[in-house]
């Protein structure tokens, strides 16, 4: 059955930024498809709530509260996952973000922090995970899957996003380069996420004018839901996408430009 190729039975996934939003959605989607998950974020209470939902689906969950900006924790996260579950098959580099800021108000430190948070953390976790993934017994379809959560702002332009957009563009191209390095055993893909109704858009979600502007600027005339992204991640993590690597799957409601004008003035 074709739908069986979406199953993740017996596999183990690590997911960053999994206390809420897209990361939590991916954890639940993977659990529903049969995977055990290890989840990392800064807030233990949020992680425990996600883990409870995973366990309610009959799967196991490892909670690892930590700040991924401290790269040393990522090796420990991988070690703890393998110690708990005995294997590692899937990495979802979901953590990321950066507040929109006018160009001349964006300091070098802010720019480098955006790159570190959105790109370097993904590189470091993937590098720690890949040797373990290569040791995991897998079907002939491959040796595992890495999914990087990029953004539509990595390919479109709008004022205020020089740090975040540059970082997400780098993450998308790092995906292509890593895919070449990791083929044929491990597939590496990304998702170019559009405007999704999570806490990251709290300012928009609580302002009807801003929300309507964003919806009106999206060809599919709605904001994305967490499940829209989680389903895409499940596709890329599973054997359903066994002939896909080095690609960016755009789940963005059809955007070809920014859908919210921050109204930053001319220089």
Domains of the chain and CATH, by start: 2-198+227-251 (3.40.50.720)
CA distances from 178 to 48, 104, 242, 247 (A): 32, 33, 16, 11
Tell me how far apart the alpha carbons of residues 260 and 239 are, in angstroms, rounded to a whole number: 36
Tell me how far apart the alpha carbons of residues 34 and 3 are, in angstroms, rounded to a whole number: 13
Cβ neighbours, 10 Å, residue 142? 20
List the catalytic residues: 164
Tell me the whole-structure pTM to 2 decimals: 0.96
Each residue's pLDDT, cut to its tens digit, for the chain (267 residues) gives 899 999 999 999 999 999 999 999 999 999 999 999 999 999 999 999 999 999 999 999 999 999 999 999 999 999 999 999 999 999 999 999 999 999 999 999 999 999 999 999 999 999 999 999 999 876 554 579 999 999 999 999 999 999 999 999 999 999 999 999 999 999 999 999 999 999 888 888 889 999 999 999 999 999 999 999 999 999 999 999 999 999 999 999 999 999 999 999 999
The DSSP string of 85-114 is: HS---EEEE---------GGG--HHHHHHH
Burial class (CB in 10 A: 0-12, 13-18, 19+), 118: buried
Length of the chain: 267
């Amino acid at each position: 059955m074709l739908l069986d190729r979406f199953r993740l039975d017996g596999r183990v996934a690590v997911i960053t930024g999994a206390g809420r939003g897209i990361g939590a959605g991916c954890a639940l989607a993977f659990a529903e498809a049969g995977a055990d998950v290890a989840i990392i974020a800064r807030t233990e209470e949020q992680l425990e709530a996600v883990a409870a939902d995973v366990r309610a689906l009959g799967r196991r969950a490892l909670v690892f509260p930590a700040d991924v900006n401290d790269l040393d924790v990522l090796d420990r996260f991988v070690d703890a996952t393998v110690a708990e579950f005995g294997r590692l098959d899937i990495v979802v580099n979901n953590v990321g973000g950066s507040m929109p800021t006018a160009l001349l108000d964006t300091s070098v430190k802010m720019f480098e922090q955006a790159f570190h948070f959105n790109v370097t953390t993904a590189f470091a976790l993937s590098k720690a995970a890949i040797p373990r993934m290569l040791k995991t017994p897998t079907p002939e379809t491959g040796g595992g899957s890495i999914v990087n959560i990029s953004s539509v702002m990595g390919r479109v332009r709008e004022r205020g996003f020089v740090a975040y957009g540059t970082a997400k563009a780098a993450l998308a191209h790092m995906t292509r380069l890593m895919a070449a390095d990791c083929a044929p055993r491990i597939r590496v893909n990304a998702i170019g996420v559009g405007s999704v109704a999570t806490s990251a858009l709290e300012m928009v979600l609580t302002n009807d004018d801003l929300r309507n502007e964003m919806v009106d600027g999206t060809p599919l005339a709605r904001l994305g839901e967490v499940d829209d992204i989680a389903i895409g991640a499940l596709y890329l993590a599973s054997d359903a996408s066994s002939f896909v690597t080095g690609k960016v799957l755009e789940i963005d409601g059809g955007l070809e430009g920014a859908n919210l004008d921050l109204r930053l003035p001319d220089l």
